[in-house]
Amino acid sequence: MNINKTTLNNFRASFNEAVKELEKEYEVSIKLGNIQYGDISFTSKIEVTSGGNAEEVAKNRYEDDLKTYGYRYPELKTEHFDDGILYQGQKVRIVGIKPRSPKYPIIYQTEDGKRWKASYQAVQHQLKHYNGSSQ
């Protein structure tokens, strides 16, 4: 095999096709990460996430984010993924946490499916003043 960008793109496509049966059988999502390569070999990370469909995978990732980074954002709860919050006058769902993003670590999704980022302080303020402190 000649290892170059083109063959690795083809490999990625073939890999994604080959794991579809495993995804169905085990109700998981399998994602091939960035590929690093040299003249004679290449490496990549494979991420397997529990969940039978995209919505379930997204919820599981959010719950995992909360378990890992929730101590930094104590106001965020699992219910904010399902029920959403009122943010800037519209109902949104919090769908992710990007802990390496110091300014805008909270990812939310509007009802039309668009994803946006927000500062923790802005979300904290919205939760406190407009959604009640119990959420």
Q: Where are the domains of the chain?
A: 5-50, 71-130
Could you tell me what percent of the chain has a pLDDT over 90?
57
For residues 11-40, average pLDDT: 93
Where on the phi/psi map is residue 7: left (φ > 0), alpha (ψ -120 to 50), or beta?
A: alpha
- What is the spatial distance between Cα 47 and Cα 116, in angstroms, rounded to a whole number? 24
> Do residues 60 and 68 make contact, with C-beta atoms less than 8 angstroms apart?
no
pLDDT of residue 133: 47
pLDDT above 60: residue 74: yes
For 32-101, what is the HEC assignment? EEEEEECCCCEEEEEEEEECCCHHHHHHHHHHHHHHHHHHHCCCCCCHHHHCCEEECCEEEEEEEECCCC
pLDDT confidence tier of residue 132, bands split at 50, 70 and 90: low
Q: How far apart are CA 96 and CA 94, in angstroms?
A: 6
Gyration radius from the chain CA atoms: 19
| Residue 15 binned pLDDT confidence (cut-offs 50, 70, 90) | very high
- What does the alpha-carbon distance between residue 96 and residue 105 come to, in Å, rounded to a whole number? 8
pTM score, two decimals? 0.67
pLDDT of residue 135: 41
